[in-house]
Amino acid sequence: MKYLLLFVLTMVVSVVQAHELPAPQGDVILTVSGNITRTNGDGLARFDRAMLHDLQQGTITTATPWFEAAHDFSGPLGMALLDAVGAQGANLRVIALNDYAANVPTSDLRDLGVVLATRLDGQVMSVRDKGPLFLIYPFDDNPDLFHEVYFGRSVWQIARIDVGN
């Protein structure tokens, strides 16, 4: 009986730890809330730059309405962020530092190769240059995305994401 209790306690601790993210060691640049299963405190998932860098990365080379030429935008894949927080909802509310917000279907991040760019042409994106995070679609790879709907979803200076149902 004693061993069974020890086994059950070990399993519970393992399940709890599997659903926790490590605590950020640096300045928090992104907070994810809402319908998520993996957190690192108070029902939130907070990420510093290093934690975002540890997620699966992607690069999109594309022209955008906001820059004169095509550029390389690199950072964590949107689907990697959703997986890291255990996102359960179908919709996201992506919120910028200035409180601009856009509704973005989670399917965009899972199916379209969206990147949360932290770097522009290899350089860390500052707030002045639309950083620290800029939601980028592969506009050049899929001409259907070069549309006002997706431009409005391309939030820059992202600070928070709320995962809805």
Cβ neighbours of 85 (radius 10 Å): 22
Task: Tell me the pLDDT tens digit for each residue of 1-34.
Answer: 544 444 443 444 334 444 689 999 999 999 999 9
Question: 22-164 is classed in which CATH architecture?
Answer: Alpha-Beta Complex (3.90)
Output the pTM of the full model: 0.87
Task: Tell me the pLDDT tens digit for each residue of 82-110.
Answer: 999 999 999 999 999 999 999 999 999 99
Per-domain residue ranges of the chain: 22-164
The single residue listed with the structure tokens 């001409």 is 143
Backbone φ, ψ for residue 10 (5° rounding):
-60, -40
